[in-house]
Amino acid sequence: MVIGINIILAVSLNLVSGFTGQLSLGHATFMGIGAYTATLFALKLHVPFLVALIIGAATAAFFGFIIGVPTLRLKGDYLAIATLGFGEIMRNILLNLKITGGPMGLRGIPKITNIYIVAAAVILVIFSLNRIMNSRVGKSFIAIREDELAAEAMGINTTNFKILAFAIGAFYAGIAGGLFAFLFRYINPNNFGFMKSIEILCMVVLGGMGNTSGAVLGATILTILPEFLRSVSPVISQYRMVFYGILLVVMMIVRPQGLLSDTSFDFLKSSVFGKIKVKKIAEKGGQ
Amino acid sequence: MTLLEGKDLTMVFGGLAALDSVDININKGEILSLIGPNGAGKTTLFNLLTGVYSPTRGSICFKQREIKNLKPYDITKMGIARTFQNIRLFGEMSVLDNVIIGQHCRTNTGVFGAIFRGPATRKEEKKVRDRAMDILNFVGLAGEAGEKAKNLPYGKQRRLEMARALATDPDLILLDEPAAGMNPQETNELINLIDKINDMGKTVLLIEHDMKLVMGISQRIMVLDYGKKIADGPPEKVRNDEKVIKAYLGDRAGKEVRAC
């Protein structure tokens, strides 16, 4: 189930950083906003789980929009640092608000998240994401990554589309946050700190930037690996985070483009069927 | 009829005036060439007309509307498209997708339309694909539609840039050195293509160093030197203009002095 949640986080960050090319170091923050909002709505207002989940995600998307407006005018490293700053601000707000329970966090959340709900969420997220990426909107995201100036010359309002990517990514992350809260039944601000953001980024980079299948694979591997190493032997268990680190270092040296960069399931589908489709259209056009 | 009118256009970078009160008139349906030595301000003028920069001074009227403070994407929507001197394609995307992106400002599928893919979205997608293929046929790239843009040879990349600009359905198309790095045969094909684009009723503004191309297809030539306009007129007149010859070949007297 944790794998599923991490998959949602990885594919949503991949939308922002991989497809649209905007490096964000504060993705876990949106997860946190989703988790806290959903939890508070469920605990204080007794809103049903699904509704709370959606409200949490929508709130995260709203914050994505609010944060996106000023920061997405920045580029590359500057944007990364700005999102980092935003993450710290949110963490501190959560630590100091009364309603969020401060550093104690929120406890007593009912356990509702189960494997079916997670599976359904993962499928819905990936399905809708694929639809978006194959549409005019998704193509605009990729165009912005490829060349912002040219994208603007093609009539794409780059700032708006970057904000849109940010908000959609935040929405999905908010869903992941809600699922997380109702799975572990306890949340505190440190669940959604800088380290979590980096962990999500590692999944995306390991799997291959700009590739949904890659993000899924990256999330799966980086979720299972520490647990797997823990179970092998006590010695390895002790050093499992070292292995984790070594894996990342080796990966970046041997295959910096990520596990799946060009060769993925998406790619198979779009290349084989896509080419046939294009050929057909070409023949039709040629006649 | 005037399609675009720029008056007193001045662009200052730091202390340097890249353009110094240049007037430019583009008539509907013509092919106007912009020439001048390197650093004369040609590309700066392009960037002003397409909204990449906002001019320090002056005004730009396109279809009777002031556009100097509009963003590039708004200007594209109004009907000005451009290509870039250093090719700027979306390299990782297919040739077809590059042209589809060009139609961005003429379509309006949003996020929800994309997720639910209703009939309107499907219809728009089909229309966009068909039109993209038509344009690729027009520039002769239909066979490469599924190829990644970055894998095309240089000459074809240039043509794809033009296809992408055409896809925005412009009234005025700005070509920034389209023949740069092309061999004579490719240049000839390019001349044909520009003529064909002009025949479609599109107005063309061209920056070019290849004099054969410039003299061959331009109805009018405008010459810039050090940010100032030094000549404007039909090719025969500009070719023999004293100032133009001086700007390109240097001052005869000066050369003789140096030779001694």
Q: What is the pLDDT of residues B241-250, one digit of tens each?
A: 888 888 887 7
Would you state the pLDDT for residue B229? 93
Burial of A246 (0-12, 13-18, 19+ CB in 10 A): exposed
Half-sphere exposure in the Cβ direction for B43 (13 Å, CA): 11
Would you state the pLDDT for residue B253? 53
Domain that holds residue A172: 2-286
- What tens digit of pLDDT does each residue of A30-78 get? 999 999 999 999 999 999 999 999 999 999 999 999 999 988 888 878 9
Residue in chain B closest to A270 (alpha carbons) equals: B146
Chain B (46-85) residues lying within 8 Å, Cβ to Cβ, of chain A: 50, 52, 71-73, 76-77, 81-82, 84
Q: In this structure, how many other beta carbons lie within 10 angstroms of the beta carbon of residue A276?
A: 11
Quickly state the pLDDT bin for A1 (edges 50, 70, 90): confident
Are A156 and B100 a contacting pair at CB < 8 A? no
Quickly state the pLDDT bin for B195 (edges 50, 70, 90): very high
Residue A176, min C-alpha distance to chain B (Å): 19
Q: Does B89 contact chain A (CB < 8 Å)?
A: yes
Residue B16, min C-alpha distance to chain A (Å): 24
Return the higher-pLDDT residue of A271 and A92: A92
Would you state the pLDDT for residue A89? 93
Quickly state the pLDDT bin for B251 (edges 50, 70, 90): low
Count the helices and strands in chain A (H runs, E runs): 13, 0
Give dist(CA B206, CA B222) in Å, integer. Answer: 10
pTM over 0.90: no
Chain A residues near any Cβ of chain B (below 8 Å)? 128, 131-132, 134-140, 142-143, 146-147, 149-158, 164, 168, 210, 274-275, 278-279, 281-282, 284-286
Residue A137, min C-alpha distance to chain B (Å): 6
SS3 B3: strand
Triad A29, A33, A35: Cα angle to 5°: 110
The structural domains of chain B, ordered by start, are 1-79+170-260 (3.40.50.300), 90-168 (no CATH)
- What tens digit of pLDDT does each residue of B79-110 get? 999 999 999 999 999 999 999 999 998 988 88
Are A150 and B90 a contacting pair at CB < 8 A? yes
For CA atoms A231, A235, A238, A244, the dihedral sign is negative
Return the higher-pLDDT residue of A286 and A147: A147
Nearest to B142 among A146, A150, A285 (CB): A285
B12, amino acid identity:
V
Give dist(CA A226, CA A232) in Å, integer. Answer: 10
Number of folded domains in chain A? 1
Which CATH number belongs to the domain containing residue A85 in this structure?
Answer: 1.10.3470
Q: Is pLDDT above 50 for A97?
A: yes
Q: Which residues on neighbouring strands pair with residue B176, listed in sequence order?
A: B207
